[in-house]
Chain A
Amino acid sequence: MSRRDPDPSSLLPLTPAVTHILLALATGDAHGYAIAKEVEELTEGQIRMGPGTLYGSIGRMIDAGLIEESPRRPRSGDDERRRYYRATLLGRRALERELRRLERVVAVARARRVLGRPEPA
C-alpha cells in the first residue's frame, strides 16, 4: 500500500454497506455485480445495492483506502472488461476492528439479556 495508512480505528464505525462490501471482498477479488449479489445474500436480501449505492460506496472506499482496483482478472471466461476490486490491508484491518466492535456490542447485549442465545444456523 503506497498511501499513508490512517489508524483503522479512526474509520469506525463502518456503515452497513461498507461492512458488507468488505465482507464480500474478504474471500477474494470481485466485480461490482458479484459484490452486489454477495451483499444481498449475506444480508438475506435486506441490503440490495443499486448501481448508485454500490459505485458510490466503492468510490468512497477507494478514497478512504479501504479497497482498490485489482489488476488481476480471473481466467475463467469472465467478461474481461469488468473491473475487479479487492480489500486493502487497511480495509481488512478496519473490517476486523468493526466486527470486533460489533462482537462486543453483541456480548454486552447478551450479558444484559437484551439478546438471547444465538439462533441455530
Chain B
Amino acid sequence: MTSAERLWRVLVRLFPAETRREYGEEMLRLVRDLERDARRASPLAHAAFLARLVADAVVSAPGEHARRRRRRRSELGTPSPSMREDRMDTLRADVRYALRAMARQPAFAIVAVLTLALGIGANTAIFSLINTALLRPLPVERPEQLVSLNNVSLNLPAISYPNYRDFRDRNNSFSGMMVYRYTPFALSVNGVNERVWGYLVTGNYFEVLGVKPALGRFFTPDDDRSPGAHPIAALAYDCWQKRFAGDPQVIGKNVIVNGRNFTIIGVAPQGFYGSEIGY
C-alpha cells in the first residue's frame, strides 16, 4: 500500500458511512491515480499532493455530512430543516464529537471529569454555607420587616441599656425595639461545665421577633423591671435535646450560667438559633 493510500484510509473516516460505501472505492482509485501522477512529477510534488489530500478531506467532509443529512430528510419526506433543527443537528454532532474525543483519551477525560466534580462539589458546599448564612431568612414571624440598628459613632455594635430604653420608648417607626448581645457563657448542667455561645436579651426579644416557645414561656417586658431579681433563661431546642435529653420537666429547673443560678422558663422552637445568622 502506498503512503497516500494509507493516509487516505485514515482520512476517509471523516466522511459519512454512506459516502464511504457509495464512493469509497472510487475515491481510493482516484488517490492511486493522482499519486502516480504526483510521483512522476517530483518528490516535492508528491509531498504537496499528500498535504493537499489532508486539506481536501478536512474541507470537504463537513459538507458531505450536511448533504447526507439533507438527503436522509428528503427520503423520509420530512420538510426542509428549520434553523432550530439545524442547530439541534449541530448540537448532536458536537456531543458525539465530544464523546469520541473523550473515548480516544480516557486519561484526560477522567482528569477533566474529576476536576469538574471537585469544582462543582466545592461550589455546592460554599453555596450551602452562603445560603444558610446570608440568603435564608431568619425563622421569625416577619423576617422582611426586621431592621438592624447600629451605633456608627463608636464603630462598635454596642449601646448602653439606658440609651436603648430611650430609643425604645420614643420609637415611632418600628413596632418594637429590642437589643441583644451574642456572647460566650460558662454553662454548668448536672456538674458538667461547658463553654457555650448564647444571647443576653431584653425582655421583649421574643415578642419583637414573633417567636413562640416550643415549651414553657419566653421572657416578657415585665421580666425587665427589677434588675437581678429573678435570673431566667430560655434554652435553644438543640441544647434542650442534647443537655436535658428533651425532658419536658426541665421548666423550672436551675442551671448555672457564669456561676449564677438561672431558672429555665422555656425552650425555643426547633430551627431557631437566635437573631444572628449563620450560627
Q: List A residues at the B interface (Cβ < 8 Å).
A: 31-33, 36-37, 48-56, 58-60, 63, 79, 81-83
B30-A59 in contact (CB<8A): no
A32-B25 in contact (CB<8A): no
A49 to B52, CA, bound (A): 9
Chain B neighbourhood of A52, CB < 8 A = 11, 15, 27, 56-57, 59-61, 64
Of chain B, the residue at the smallest CB distance from A63 is: B71
The reply on B248 being an interface residue by CB < 8 A is no
Chain A neighbourhood of B63, CB < 8 A = 56
Chain A neighbourhood of B8, CB < 8 A = 51
Other-chain residue from A33, A36, A60, A81 in contact with B25 (beta carbon distance below 8 A): A81
Chain B neighbourhood of A79, CB < 8 A = 29
A7 to B22, CA, bound (A): 28
10 contacts between A and B (CB under 8 A): A36-B34, A49-B56, A50-B56, A51-B27, A51-B30, A51-B31, A52-B27, A56-B60, A56-B64, A63-B71
* Distance in Å: Cβ of B75 to nearest Cβ of chain A: 11
A49 to B55, CA, bound (A): 11
A53-B23 in contact (CB<8A): no
CB < 8 Å A-B pair total: 70
Q: List B residues at the A interface (Cβ < 8 Å).
A: 8, 11, 15, 19, 22-23, 25-31, 33-34, 37, 52-53, 55-57, 59-61, 63-64, 67, 70-71
Q: A32-B30, A33-B29, A33-B33 are in contact. Are A51 and B67 (CB under 8 A)?
A: no
Chain B neighbourhood of A63, CB < 8 A = 67, 70-71
Of chain A, the residue at the smallest CB distance from B31 is: A51
A33 to B64, CA, bound (A): 19
Known contacts A50-B60, A51-B27, A52-B61; 17 further A-B pairs (Cβ under 8 A): A32-B26, A32-B27, A49-B56, A50-B53, A51-B8, A51-B23, A51-B26, A52-B27, A52-B56, A53-B59, A53-B60, A55-B30, A56-B60, A58-B23, A60-B67, A82-B29, A83-B26
Chain B neighbourhood of A37, CB < 8 A = 37
Which 6 residue pairs are nearest across A and B when measured between Cβ atoms? A50-B56, A52-B60, A51-B27, A55-B23, A33-B33, A56-B60
A102 to B41, CA, bound (A): 34
A50-B52 in contact (CB<8A): yes
Of chain A, the residue at the smallest CB distance from B63 is: A56
Most B-side CB within 10 Å, residue of A49, A50, A51, A53: A51
* Distance in Å: Cβ of B11 to nearest Cβ of chain A: 8
Chain A neighbourhood of B71, CB < 8 A = 63
Chain B neighbourhood of A82, CB < 8 A = 26, 29
Of chain B, the residue at the smallest CB distance from A49 is: B56
A59 to B68, CA, bound (A): 9
Of chain A, the residue at the smallest CB distance from B37 is: A37
* Distance in Å: Cβ of B264 to nearest Cβ of chain A: 86
Of chain B, the residue at the smallest CB distance from A60 is: B67
Chain B neighbourhood of A81, CB < 8 A = 25, 29
A52 to B25, CA, bound (A): 12
Chain A neighbourhood of B28, CB < 8 A = 51
* Distance in Å: Cβ of A79 to nearest Cβ of chain B: 8
Of chain B, the residue at the smallest CB distance from A52 is: B60
A33-B56 in contact (CB<8A): no
B27-A48 in contact (CB<8A): no
Other-chain residue from A31, A51, A58, A60 in contact with B56 (beta carbon distance below 8 A): A51
